[in-house]
Amino acid sequence: MTNTHTPAPAGTLALEHRFDIQQVLHLYAHLIDAKSWNELDRVFSDDATYDMSTVKLGVYEGLSAIRGQLASMDHPDAHFSLDHVIGEARRNGLVPVRSKYFVRLKDRTIMDGLYDDRCILTSTGWRIRSRQILRTGSSCPL
């Protein structure tokens, strides 16, 4: 599937665009927990970059590389994404989004951090064009 980019108008996004971006961010956690690797094109653009270097997992460029890495990982039991702060659309069509995340690890501890995303409007809807994981805390028991 090819996602051609359709730049959003620069400036403040309409509510329906904000809602659609939030849906993509929520969908990510559901797809990861369900191990629905073939559906990741509903979340990432074809030319996306995923920087997991802060958790020592590297940087992956392109949907195929992202899909391969995510499919090969031993994932936490559950992923949660919340508190999305959606910025204004830039002239290049990218929309900055910062979200908090937490995951429940297999030892029943919680790990938290931030997702620093740039979303883009494609011919198939909003997608994450780049994502960087930022750690903010440490693991703690439930």
pLDDT tens digit sequence for 41-81? 999 999 999 999 988 889 999 999 999 999 999 888 889 99
Has this prediction a pTM greater than 0.85? yes
Distant-in-sequence, close-in-space partners of 17: CB < 8 Å, separation ≥ 6: 8, 95, 121, 126
Q: Tell me, yes or no, whether 22 lies in a domain.
A: yes
Q: Tell me, yes or no, whether 9 lies in a domain.
A: no
Q: Tell me, yes or no, whether 123 lies in a domain.
A: yes
Residue range of the domain that includes 111 = 15-136
Q: Tell me, yes or no, whether 98 lies in a domain.
A: yes
Token pair belonging to 116? 């620093």
Q: What is the mean pLDDT of the chain?
A: 89
Residues 113-139, mean pLDDT to the nearest whole number: 91
Token pair belonging to 53? 């270097």
pLDDT score at 6 = 62
Please check the confidence at residue 130 and state whether its pLDDT lies above 90. yes
Percent of all residues in the chain with a pLDDT value above 70, rounded to a whole number: 89
Q: Which of 51, 34, 10, 16 is nearest to 126 (CA)?
A: 16
What is the number of structural domains in the chain?
Answer: 1
Q: Which of 84, 80, 95 is nearest to 9 (CA)?
A: 95
Q: Tell me, yes or no, whether 67 lies in a domain.
A: yes
Q: Tell me, yes or no, whether 6 lies in a domain.
A: no
Please check the confidence at residue 3 and state whether its pLDDT lies above 70. no
Q: Tell me, yes or no, whether 142 lies in a domain.
A: no
Token pair belonging to 8? 């959003």
Is residue 96 classed as helix, strand or coil in its secondary structure? strand
C-beta of residue 118 within 8 angstroms of C-beta of residue 3: no
CA distance 45 to 21: 13
Q: Tell me, yes or no, whether 100 lies in a domain.
A: yes
Q: What is the CATH number of the domain that holds 100?
A: 3.10.450.50
